[in-house]
Amino acid sequence: MLEVNFPITAVTKIGPKYKSLLENIGISTIEDLLYHFPFRYDDLSQIKLVKDLVEEDRVTVKGVLGPVDNIYTKYRKRLTKGKLLDHTGDIDLIWFNQQYLKKSLSTGKNYKISGKVSTFNNKLCFISPEIELDSGNTINTGRLVPVYPETAGISSKWLRGKIKFILDSQTNLSEFLPEEIIDEFNFQDINEALNEMHFPDSIQEAENTGERFAFEELFIELLNVEKRKYEWSKKLKSKKYKSFEKEVKDFIQKLPFKLTGSQKTALGDIISDLKKENPMNRLLEGDVGTGKTVLAIIASYISHLNGFKVLYMAPTEILANQHLKTFEKFLKGTNIKVELRTGSVKENGDWSILIGTHALLFNKEKYKNIGLVVIDEQHRFGVEQRGKIVDLIEDKKVPHLLTMTATPIPRTLALTLYGDLSISILDEFPFEQRKITTKVIPEKMRKETYEIIKQKNEPTFIVCPLIEESESSSLENVKAAQVEFENLKNGVFKDLPIGLLHGRMKSTEKEEVVKKFRKGEIKILVSTPVIEVGIDIPDATIIVIESAERYGLASLHQLRGRVGRGQKEGLCFTFMSNNSRDSYKRLKALENINEGIKLAEIDLEMRGQGDVFGTEQHGFKKLKVADLHNLEMLENAKVYAQKYFPKLEEYPKLLGRLIQRKGYYIGAN
């Protein structure tokens, strides 16, 4: 019997080489392979006679295989040539550079051939068709044929064979969904469903079966959400704060601006959380410029008044340095000591608030007396990293956790990936909302765009997705910051002071460039998207985004939020490195929509959850089957997750499944 949690090498003929290749597509166990689902099905179910074949047909033909020979053409191409015969005629079969086929095929036996009918030397033929013995139950021909996500060295044909072998073997995989759910939604048993998902008899059957796995995926994910929620709200204890209403009121009155209505509401949520004995686990979501940082400063001030220290984590050294200055500015006149720790800077002596980057995660000694942890741009830290911060605290009591993001989170993601967090949304600006005009510019208008930049002579960002030019053909039109910097410095902007900023520069170099740009000593800053996460240059008015189709709309929205932060209107010009109509249509949404949440919803619909954040590498679990737009299924899965989580011990198979699939667990279990 095959144990589905065994390593994939337990399957016949999968050795170290294939093990390594399969890991590239996230497969390490037998169950991983069973859950590696097709992303489409090729319909090769239409069977025709040879006499009825027409060029461009995508069909299957059944017949007897004639002689197979390896030959060289007059152009020295190596090809394998054979014939398939039925009672109505014969058709040539041609494969290029697959000489090994001659040994593996048997003349005189019955085969099925599937593929597209083409012409070669003015004769109808199949070029590189799928071929397999006509044994009745074929998997590569004469049916809906599954096509899988692949990697170099692993083809869909190879995957079909291995998956079919496992499905036909006896495994220990048994149904783990509660019977109530199976009956309510009329789901198939898991083994039957896996067979139908990989080798369906019809598209409708595949779609119906997909419903089961989509629900299952959401249900498991939301059970993990319930576990995280339980751990924070029931299992873990925190430091209970006093509100210090008078002191906080006086602090707010001294601010150089009034808090907006949504800031006041969010602050009320934060203070309410801090007063509880269970740790706060709140996400503060708001567009660039809606005032998240000042709320973090107020929360840090309250923490100090209660005698506790604060850890504040930023995703980059540039942003950490910027926050240090902001904290010092707003906390001037208090006795609060703010220090900085990054990869290149160590804090000095005692501190009340420690601002840092990922370096905070790698402290050799545990932190003492921490009451509050703030994570800025939280989507750049995985859930496990949040847990690591909590584990670094020496005290038995868990600190309150405030996470912040300028990336708008669609409701469906809030239900799943962020379902364990309380969410406060800032949807107003402390100052009059700035005006940013966005234009998708065709390449032919580049010269005119540069003229506008020269005429305005105001601080300008030019953002490129790469640091250096790539040798990849798929990236050949994508601009690189280093090359673009040299081209512009020696070309169209040779009369303007121009600078370069990217992630591989030393911290001191980056700080110096930002300082000069802020002072106006640099007019044009060529940069990678490192500026997305919070560089504040109030006088910057223009941003040019190269290869804009490579970004999620939410990320583009954040990038354009770098300009127009002062009194002047901001301009955002986007260029494309391809001519895709879909990309152009998607980018045009930026011209008319200024609400980040609407843009995130568009990206979620058009590109998937990874692209809401511009990349998929943010510590999120990528859903394989579930459609986050299916709100009805999402809400059903949430209802059942809330129902079954409290009684998981009564469902050992479901509990085992949760443990086996390793959900995101925060803090100590």
* Beta strands in 468-591, from DSSP E residues, in sequence order: 498-501, 524-527, 542-545, 570-574
CB 463 within 8 A of CB 546: yes
Identify the residue whose tokens are 């300008």. 460
Residues 460 and 596 in one domain: yes
Q: What dihedral do alpha carbons 271, 277, 281, 282 form, nearest 10°?
A: -20
pLDDT tens figures, 30-88: 999 999 999 999 999 999 999 999 999 999 999 999 999 999 877 777 899 999 999 99
Identify the pLDDT of residue 667: 34
Higher pLDDT, 624 or 157: 157
For residue 2, tell me if it sits in a domain. Answer: no
Output the pLDDT for position 417: 66
* Predicted confidence (pLDDT) per residue in 283-339, tens digit: 998 887 789 999 999 999 999 999 999 999 988 888 888 899 999 999 998 989 999
Q: Both 316 and 450 in a single domain? A: no
**540-595 pLDDT per residue, tens:** 999 999 999 888 888 888 889 888 877 788 999 999 988 788 888 889 999 998 88
Query: What is the distance between the alpha carbons of residues 40 and 149, in angstroms, rounded to a whole number?
Result: 9
Q: Domain for residue 165, yes or no?
A: no
Arithmetic mean of pLDDT over the chain = 87
Same domain for 514 and 569:
yes
Q: Do residues 445 and 571 share a domain?
A: yes
Token reading at 364? 């050799």
Residue 451 maps to a domain: yes
* Co-location of 500 and 584 in the same domain: yes
Residue 608 lies in a domain: yes
The answer as to whether 527 is a domain residue is yes
CATH number of the domain that 101 lies in?
2.40.50.140
Q: Tell me the percentage of the chain whose pLDDT exceeds 70.
A: 92
Alpha-carbon span 402 to 298, nearest angstrom: 12
Residues 522 and 391 in one domain: no
Q: How many domains does the chain have?
A: 3
Per-residue pLDDT for 379 more than 60? no
Q: How far apart are CA 641 and CA 653, in angstroms?
A: 15
Instruction: Write out pLDDT tens, residues 95-108.
Output: 998 999 999 999 99
Q: What is the mean pLDDT of residues 127-146?
A: 93
Band of residue 534 on the pLDDT scale cut at 50, 70, 90: low
Do 350 and 455 belong together in one domain?
no
Backbone angles phi, psi at 503, to 5 degrees: -70, -20
Is residue 667 within 8 A of residue 230, CB to CB? The reply is no
456 and 539 share a domain? yes
Nearest to 94 by CA among 105, 103, 85, 83: 83
Residues 547 and 401 in one domain: no
Q: pTM higher than 0.75, yes or no?
A: no
What Å distances lie between residue 154 and 17, 163, 462, CA to CA?
A: 11, 13, 40
Same domain, 471 and 357: no
Q: What is the CATH number of the domain that holds 360?
A: 3.40.50.300
Q: Which of 332, 298, 36, 308 has its CA nearest to residue 158?
A: 36
Whether 405 and 285 have beta carbons less than 8 Å apart is answered as yes
> Could you tell me if residue 490 is inside a domain?
yes
- Domain membership of residue 505 (yes or no) is yes
Name 339's bridge partners: 354
Which of 142-146, 633-637, 659-663 bottoms out in mean pLDDT, i.e. has the lowest? 659-663
Do both 375 and 256 map to the same domain? yes
Query: Token pair 């000694």 is at which residue?
Result: 365
Q: Looking up tokens 């990038």, which residue turns up?
A: 559
Query: Is 442 part of any domain?
Result: yes
Nearest by Cα to 426 from 627, 282, 615: 282
Answer yes or no: is pLDDT of 475 > 70: no
Report which of residues 214 and 344 the model is more confident about.
Answer: 214
Nearest-angstrom CA–CA distance, 157 and 159: 5
Looking at the structure, do residues 401 and 534 belong to the same domain, yes or no?
Answer: no
pLDDT at 387: 66
Q: Is 492 helix (H, G, I), strand (E, B) or coil?
A: coil
497 pLDDT more than 60: yes
The conformation of residue 546, written as its DSSP 8-state character, comes to T
**Residue 359 burial (CB < 10 Å; 0-12/13-18/19+)?**
middle
> Tens of pLDDT along 160-212?
999 999 999 989 999 999 999 999 999 999 999 999 999 999 999 999 999 99
Half-sphere exposure of residue 655: CA atoms within 13 angstroms, side-chain side: 9
pLDDT of 345 reads: 74
- Alpha-carbon span 488 to 526, nearest angstrom: 9
Contact 200, 144 (CB under 8 A): yes
Instruction: Tell me the residue range of the domain where 254 lies.
Output: 241-275+290-405
Q: Classify the C-alpha dihedral 524-471-575-510 as positive or negative.
A: negative
Look at residue 382 and tell me whether its pLDDT is greater than 60. no
Ranges of beta strands (E only) in 511-554 are: 524-527, 542-545
- Using CB atoms within 10 Å of the CB of residue 289, give its burial: 0 to 12 exposed, 13 to 18 middle, 19+ buried: middle
